[in-house]
Structure 1
Amino acid sequence: MNFYGINYLQAQSSLNDYLKYIVIFSTLLVTIVVFSLYMRHRLQTKYRDLTIIAFLFLLFMLGVQYSEYTNSESAHSQSSQMVNFVNVLSKQKNVSVNDIYANSFQLVDGVIIKIKDSYYKVNLSADQNTYILQETWLTNPNITLLKNKDK
């Protein structure tokens, strides 16, 4: 079971997002180049066809990116709720934020929190404004503490 530290929770941007942006901008560049070649050589329809294909691919990638953007905004919002929860919990328990680990990126009912050597299950209210920490024990003590995103 993996438990994530505060630094790991805060660093949720991934390489996949950058890769998608590179693909979109390179497709846009190819579309512009092929369209300029088509405008220069109007008699050769292969450039027109390549422009249409690149443009349709660009529209497809933008649609996929928008869909994933909305999903990523939701996940980012939920992970920022977890970071905020860890900060609040740190103040209430008088421990450092570096001593608190969570087994989920998102603040959901039933998430397991590790505070120093104790484990707690978080029971959230329906509006997620109140919570109950219930001490719990793990049946499998093999856990991995992930403190930083690059490790």
Structure 2
Amino acid sequence: MTFYTYSYLTTHHNTWQYVRIGLLIALLIVFIGLFVYYLRHQWNVKYKDLSIITATLLLLVLGLQINGLVSLQSATKQTGEITATVQQVARQLHVKPERLSINATSTGSDLLVKSPKGYYRLVYSSDGSAFVLEKLTLADPKIKLVKE
């Protein structure tokens, strides 16, 4: 079973977004360079074709970047919800949030919390606005802790 620390939840970033932005900027620079060179030498069609290929790749990477940003926004919202839940659990257990770990990166059913006081299950109300902590004893705990 995998548990994620509070610091992991608050500082976990998607580094692929930065790689995509770098690729997008590099393709844009190459496209501008090829297009300017084509405008200077209009008799050479090779640079027109290369600039069209580069523009197509640029649009593809731009589409992937927009898709990635939408999914990143959704993941950030879910991470904000789970960190707020961890903070509420920490207040109820009278411990610091940094000492808690949770078994998911988004809110949902069957959440388990690992604290210095033991393991707890979060049982949500039917509308999802409140939860109850239920102390558990794990029979065979094989815990993997993911830290930042």
Q: TM-score, normalised by structure 2?
A: 0.91
State the match for 2:74 in structure 1.
74
Aligned length: 148
Question: Deviation of residue 138 (structure 1)?
Answer: 3.0
Match of 1:146 in 2: 146
In the TM superposition, residue 77 of structure 1 has moved relative to its aligned partner by: 0.5
Matches within 5 A, 1:128-147: 128-147=128-147
Distance 2:125 2:73 in 1: 23
CA distance in 2, matches of 1:28, 1:127: 48
The one-letter amino acid paired with 1:57 is: L
Distance 1:41 1:137, change over 3 A: farther
The 8 Å contact of residues 17 and 68 in structure 2, kept in 1 or not, is answered as no
With over 3 angstroms needed to count, the CA separation of the structure-2 counterparts of 1:45 and 1:101, relative to structure 1, is same
Matched, 1:86 2:82: no
Q: Per-residue deviation at 1:130?
A: 0.9
Paired with 2:70 and 2:132, the residues of 1 have a C-alpha distance of 30
CA shift, 1:46, in A, is 1.0
% identical equivalent positions: 28
Aligned to 1:46: 46
Following superposition, the deviation at residue 125 of structure 1 comes to 3.3
Q: CA RMSD in A?
A: 1.6
Distance 1:58 1:113 in 2: 44
CA distance in 1, matches of 2:139, 2:120: 13
User: How far apart are the structure 1 equivalents of 2:32 and 2:137?
Assistant: 59
Structure 1: which 5+ residue stretches go unaligned? none
Q: Deviations over 1:40-70 (max 9, x none)?
A: 1111111111111111111111111111211
